[in-house]
Each structure stands twice: as C-alpha cells, then as structure tokens.
Amino acid sequence: MRFVLPKGRLFKGSLEILRKAGVELKPPENRELIVKNGKYELLLARSFDVPVYVEHGVDVGIAGSDVVEERESDVLIPLELPFGKCRLSLAMPAESLTEIEDMEGFRIATKYPNIARKFFERRGVDVEVIKLHGSIELAPKIGIADAIVDIVETGNTLRANGLVEVEKIMDVSALLLVNRVSQKVKFEEINRLVLKLKEAGRNDV
C-alpha cells in the first residue's frame, strides 16, 4: 500500500496517527522522496500536491481540508483526523480595515486563488487575486496587496505583521484521502485502516 504525506506541518502528526493505527512508515534519512518499509511505501510531496497524487493513483494520503478544497481533487474522504486544526481567513492591515462589500477592485494575495475567488464571488465583490507561494503576509506590508487569504493558527504571524483577521472563510483540519480505484481494489485493507485510524483518533482526543 502506498501513502503520500505532506512534507510540511502535518508530517509529524500524520506519521504518528498512522503508527498508532498499525502502519509503521519510516521517515526519510536524507533527501529521498520514496521510503519503503515492508509492504508500505511512503511518498513525500508538497502539501498542495497530496490530493493530486491520490487522485492519480496513490492509495492513501493525508492533507489539510484547505488544500483539498483548493485543488478540487476527485478523491474519497472517509475520515477527518484530529490534528492540523486551524482556519483559513481573510485578513487586512489594521490601519485600513474595510467592509467586504466595499472591497471592489482590491488586490488579494493568497496561496488559495480558487477559494479566494469563490469567496468574493459569493459576496458579489469583484477583486484581483494575486497567487503567491508563501510568506503571504509580506504582500500587504509592502503594498502589493490590500488584503490576504491565508491560514491562521495562533494568529502570531498576523499580529507580527500588523494584520487583523476580518472573516473566517473555513475551518481547516487534516483529512484522510483515498484513491477511488484503491477503495474498490483494496477494499478490506483500506476499511481496516480507516477503522484503526478512527480508533487511534478517538484515543487522541
């Protein structure tokens, strides 16, 4: 069975919950991206690519609901996992707070162009979305964006950069993803894994 895990902040929690569910994956020792351990294979990917790998054939993955929503991948999501909790929010500089309805023409910096676009469409506000890959809080600070859509966990990054959370767009949690074909072909193995992860998650809370 092949697992794809994100290299970032969900990596440790993912390895841990899988281990509690009886799946022992070996973390990489150097820069390798595929690590075999008996009948299991661990693939390491960028967080935004995990749903894409699962859609295209990797049996199981763990990714945040933020990236699953952004990539709109066609995968099964049998379980929400009890870690990786944060939120995706709209934030803007404290000194230029503006009502969402008055944000027409605003430039929005984000790693989540899809989610951001849909959010403003729902509110009937036309904005320009600027896609960045990280350190989003920098964009309004140097004046290339008026607001951001980004992950907020503790709120420290926003505070440190003079930004205020204006509205939560969605709650975020780690999710278990399963490839549609694998669910059929490896039905028993995957159902067993889902049950064990459920149990491991319950004991965690």
Nearer to ligand PRP, 128 or 153 (CB): 153
Binders of ligand PRP in range 7-46 (CB under 6 A): 9
In the structure encoding, which two tokens stand for residue 128, read together? 């320009």
Distance in angstroms (rounded) separating the CA atoms of residues 50 and 62: 7
Which residue in the set 154, 184, 202, 205 belongs to the binding site for ligand PRP (CB under 6 A)? 154
142 binds ligand PRP (CB under 6 A): no
| Count of chain residues binding ligand PRP (CB under 6 A) | 13
150 binds ligand PRP (CB under 6 A): yes
203 binds ligand PRP (CB under 6 A): no
156 binds ligand PRP (CB under 6 A): yes
Rg (CA), the chain: 19
Which residue in the set 17, 115, 152, 197 belongs to the binding site for ligand PRP (CB under 6 A)? 152
Nearest-approach distance from CB 92 to ligand PRP, in angstroms: 15
Distance in angstroms (rounded) separating the CA atoms of residues 163 and 140: 9
- Write out the DSSP string of 87-123: EEEEEEEGGG---GGG-TT-EEEES-HHHHHHHHHHT
Residue whose Cβ sits closest to ligand PRP: 134
Largest CA distance in the chain: 57
135 binds ligand PRP (CB under 6 A): yes
Which residue in the set 98, 157, 173, 183 belongs to the binding site for ligand PRP (CB under 6 A)? 157
CA distances from 82 to 17, 63, 139, 172 (A): 9, 12, 32, 11
Neighbouring C-alpha atoms within 13 Å toward the C-beta of 148:
30
> Residues in the site for ligand PRP, rule: CB under 6 A?
9, 134-137, 150-157
